[in-house]
Amino acid sequence: MKKIKIHNKTWAIIAIFSTFIAIVITGCVESQKVASKGGAQLWAENCQRCHNTPSPASFSHEQWVTIGLHMQTRAQLTAKERDKIIAFLSQ
Amino acid sequence: MTITNKILKVLVLALVVPLTINVAWAQKTTVDSALLDRISALEQQVADQKPGESHFMVAGLATFGFVKSKTTFLSPGGPGVSVKTNSFGDADHYELSPMLIWRHSNNFLVEFEPSFDGSSIGVNWANISYFAAPGLIIHAGYFVVPFGIYNKKLAAGWIDKLAGDPNGLDMPGTDFGIGLSGGFPLGDMKWGYDVSLTNGLQLLPDGELQNAGIVDNNKGKMVSGRFSLLPLSNSCLEIGVSGLYSSAGDVGSNFTTANVKMYGADINFVKTFNPFLINIKGQYNRIVVNKQNYVSQADTTLTYSFDNKTSASFAQFSIRPVGVDNKILKNFELAYRYSNYTTPNSSTWGQNSYEHDFGLDYWITWRTVLKFTYAHSHALSTANIPAGGVGGTTNVNSIYLQFSIEF
């Protein structure tokens, strides 16, 4: 029976890819500490990563919903973060 | 009339009157209920059409300013030549970019951002995004290719702490294609991805790369992506790595085997140490084009080659006393940036350059800023002079006064 040779480089790629997938599948759960964060805290923590924290009075609720989607595409916010920040800004 | 008849009449009246009242009341209630529903629907329609309550909105940014510069060029062994300029905004320091955004339900977002830079009208974004799942956004159109942190997140005038852009970080630019992006929690941490498949870069006859553009020059495509990790639960630190591969030669040219690899790393740290808000940002880009033979611009019968590797980087620090009571002082921000740009030695455009930028900003509102920036840059040519390059040293000192707003 012919043996199939697999190079070390290939094993390394398979190992890295498998680890990555494992992390994605098992690890994408927020901790209790993160889950308990409110919209105000997430607004303060995430917006200032790139720019000043926006005033809630700057836009209407409908506009904040649109801006929330827009910012999710730019800053890779999680969907929960986006929803909580919008809820805070729309108060 | 007998007593019996009287009793019957009273009984009939006693039954008919309450019944009539009951029917009338029921009709009244029915009418009122329908009327209320109708009023409610009209109120909703009015609310939907009220300005500022639409799914369509216009946002954007405008930057305007004054630049005073002195450029000194020292040719090898020759005299120095100085040129002074004073000007209001030019192509590098003026921008008006309104962004039209349409939210179609909560799953689709259409963005279109034309941009006037003082000399032409271009497009920064013309993109449709579909929010397929909590960690999956699929987008297609014309967009800023994901690579590093500066181009996509920090370049806007009302975000950038300094008046100009660091040199060499404009690659890979904006391109047509499709992409996926998203963010996920990871315990106390968070991670994100942003990947795309686009038309790609173009290798020019002298070995320079043309930004990703609107004309596809070959069958190959460009794969680009950035992965980010926010290891701390308060999201104050973000570390990103980027990679890119693109075929770059025009069909039918001498560069049909040409390809480009780009590597990048970036860091972003923002945290308040009361009363100061500390902001540290940095990025490193490396561009590698595989070995090619280029035609001399000085003598088209000659060809030459060089190691086509380019690197660009910046490191930026800013501090703002957000926690002090003084309402004026808390709006000031001090910023410094060092940037480095090294293009290939022995190419016709080879140089080693660096730039120092010192800035003092005043934040009028959270999205309106007045910037004062002093910049000093130094560039030493490493160009291939026989092939048509220019030797010498160039020093530029500039003072900017710039106003930028997001609307």
- Prediction pTM value: 0.83
Alpha carbons B8 and A90: distance in angstroms, whole number: 67
Question: With contact defined as beta carbons under 8 Å apart, do B251 and B235 qualify?
Answer: no
Q: Is the pLDDT of residue A2 over 80?
A: no
The CA–CA distances, whole Å, from B205 to B174, B211, B342 equal 21, 14, 19
> Is the pLDDT assigned to residue A65 strictly greater than 70?
yes
Provide the pLDDT for residue B154.
Answer: 96
Phi/psi-derived region of residue B74, left when phi > 0, alpha when psi is between -120 and 50, beta in every other case? beta
Contact flag A62-B188 (C-beta cutoff 8 Å): no
What pLDDT, on a 0 to 100 scale, did the predictor assign at position B287?
98
Q: Is B6 helix (H, G, I), strand (E, B) or coil?
A: helix
pLDDT at B290 over 80: yes
**Mean pLDDT calculated for residue range B20-25:** 54
Position with higher pLDDT, B54 vs A89? A89
pLDDT at B49 over 60: no
Give the model confidence (pLDDT) of B366-386 as tens digits: 999 999 999 999 999 999 988
Q: Is the pLDDT of residue A6 over 90?
A: no
User: Contact B129/A50, CB-based, under 8 Å?
Assistant: no
So where are chain A's domains?
31-89
Q: For residue B399, what are the contacts with CB-CB under 8 A and spacing of at least 6?
A: B67, B68, B69, B372, B373, B374, B375
Least confident span in A1-15, B183-197, B214-228, B327-341: A1-15
Both tokens assigned to B31: 């009418």
Site from B55, B130, B184 to mutate, A interface, most A CB atoms within 10 angstroms: B184
Question: Mutating which of B111, B235, B277, B279 best tests the A interface, going by the most A Cβ atoms within 10 A?
Answer: B235
- Tokens 């300029």 locate to B85
Contact predicate B131/B139, CB 8 Å:
no
Q: Which positions in chain A touch B129 (Cβ < 8 Å)?
A: 69, 73
Q: What percent of chain B has pLDDT over 90?
A: 73
Q: Return mean pLDDT, chain B.
A: 90
Q: Quote the minimal CA–CA distance from A75 to chain B in Å.
A: 8
Q: How many Å is the Cα radius of gyration of chain B?
A: 32
pLDDT digits (tens, 9 = 90+) for B82-97: 999 998 876 567 899 9
State both tokens at B29.
């209630």
> Measured between alpha carbons, how far is B324 from B320 in angstroms, rounded to an integer?
10
Could you read off the pLDDT of B223-269 as tens digits, one per residue? 999 999 999 999 999 999 999 999 999 998 989 999 999 999 999 99
Looking at residue B310, what is its pLDDT?
A: 98
pLDDT at A87 over 70: yes
Token pair belonging to A8: 């070390």
pLDDT bucket at B297, cuts 50 / 70 / 90: confident
Cross-chain residue pair B186–A49, CB shorter than 8 Å: no
Which residues are registered as beta bridge partners of B276? B273
What phi-psi label fits residue A10: left (phi over 0), alpha (psi between -120 and 50 degrees) or beta?
Answer: alpha
Cβ contacts of A31 on chain B, cutoff 8 Å: 185, 187-188, 233
Q: Which residues of chain A approach chain B closer than 8 Å at the C-beta? A: 23-24, 27-31, 33-34, 45-46, 48-55, 58-63, 65-67, 69-70, 72-81
Selected for mutation to probe chain A from B49, B138, B144, B366 (highest A CB count within 10 Å) is: B366
**Which chain B residue is nearest to residue A79, measuring alpha carbons?**
B134
Q: Does the structural domain B55-406 have CATH classification 2.40.160.10?
A: yes
Residue A54 with chain B: CB contacts under 8 Å:
366-367
Nearest CB neighbour to B137, from listed A27, A46, A73: A73
- Are residues B182 and A55, on separate chains, in Cβ contact within 8 Å? no
Tokens of B352: 């080693």
Residue in B with minimal Cα distance to A57: B366
B113 touches A: beta carbon within 8 Å: no
More confident residue, B49 or B233: B233
**What's the rounded Cα separation, in Å, for the pair B273 and B276?**
5
Q: Is the pLDDT of residue A13 over 80?
A: no
Does the beta carbon of B39 lie under 8 angstroms from any beta carbon of chain A? no
User: How close, in Å, is residue A22 to chain B by CA atoms?
Assistant: 12
Where do the domains of chain B lie? Answer: 1-54, 55-406
pLDDT level of residue B18 (50, 70, 90 thresholds)? low
